[in-house]
């Protein structure tokens, strides 16, 4: 019984650890979009259509190969709110990475960049977009490791 006490403490401590998510998510592009023929919609067109379907408004990008959105409120609290904007960028190979730039603004107007996303914020920021991208054949990857494993196969 005494040998199980450290294991029980470890399990309780692991359950109390915060759950955080990175500020991006990778999507695998299907072969049909990767090699488009003339007359078919390009990957960029599909990404723009998915953003529109998810309710995001496109903005002027900082780089030519990135699709950027206008900021949108993703969380409202009593003393602060969180606004986010998205950047969609092709990543080496058949992948697209969606970056979430989230900023928390408190009641005094001070802004701070969110270094990570809680699962709830990530779901609000990316949920509709993930659904719109999956309808277009893009597959959401949960971990960057999945993309790296595909590249080494």
Task: Give pLDDT tens digits for 66-115.
Answer: 999 999 999 999 999 999 999 999 887 789 999 999 999 999 999 999 99
The rounded radius of gyration (Å) of the Cα atoms in the chain is 19
Of the pLDDT bands very low, low, confident and very high (cuts 50, 70, 90), residue 9 is low
pTM score: 0.76
Task: Label residue 123 exposed, middle or buried (CB < 10 Å: 0-12, 13-18, 19+).
Answer: middle
Domains and CATH numbers, the chain: 22-152 (3.30.530)
Higher-confidence residue: 21 or 146?
21
Output the CA torsion 102→88→46→133 (10° steps): -50
- Among candidate residues 134, 113, 103, the one with its CA nearest the CA of residue 25: 134
* The pLDDT of residue 19 is above 50: yes
- The region, left, alpha or beta by phi > 0 then psi within -120 to 50, assigned to residue 15 is alpha
Q: Is pLDDT larger for residue 35 or for residue 80? A: 80
**pLDDT the model gives residue 88:** 95
Q: Residue 80 class from Cβ within 10 Å (0-12 exposed, 13-18 middle, 19+ buried)?
A: middle
Q: How far apart are CA 148 and CA 43, in angstroms?
A: 21
Half-sphere exposure of 15 (CA within 13 A, CB side): 6
């Amino acid at each position: 019984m005494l040998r199980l006490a450290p294991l029980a403490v470890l399990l309780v401590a692991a359950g109390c650890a915060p759950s955080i998510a990175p500020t991006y998510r990778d999507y695998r592009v299907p072969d049909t979009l990767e090699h488009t023929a003339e007359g078919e919609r390009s990957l960029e067109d599909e990404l723009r259509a998915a953003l529109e379907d998810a309710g995001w408004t496109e903005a002027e990008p900082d780089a030519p190969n990135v699709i950027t959105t206008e900021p949108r409120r993703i969380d409202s609290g009593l003393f602060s709110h969180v606004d986010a904007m998205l950047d969609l960028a092709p990543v080496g190979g058949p992948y697209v990475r969606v970056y979430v730039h989230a900023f928390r603004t408190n009641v005094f107007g001070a802004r701070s960049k969110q270094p990570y996303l809680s699962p709830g914020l990530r779901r609000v920021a990316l949920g509709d977009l993930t659904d719109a991208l999956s309808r277009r054949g893009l597959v959401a990857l949960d971990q960057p490791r999945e993309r790296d494993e595909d590249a080494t196969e």
